[in-house]
Amino acid sequence: MSSTHGPWPGQWVKSTYSGGEGGQCIEWAPQHAAATGEFLVRDSKDPHGPHLNLTSEGFAGLVAFAKSHG
Checking if the pLDDT of 65 tops 60, the result is: yes
Query: Bridge partners of 58?
Result: none
In this predicted model, what pLDDT tens digit does every residue of 24-37 receive, in sequence order? 688 999 999 999 99
pLDDT band at 2 (very low <50, low <70, confident <90, very high): very low
Question: Is the CA virtual torsion 5, 7, 8, 14 positive or negative?
Answer: negative
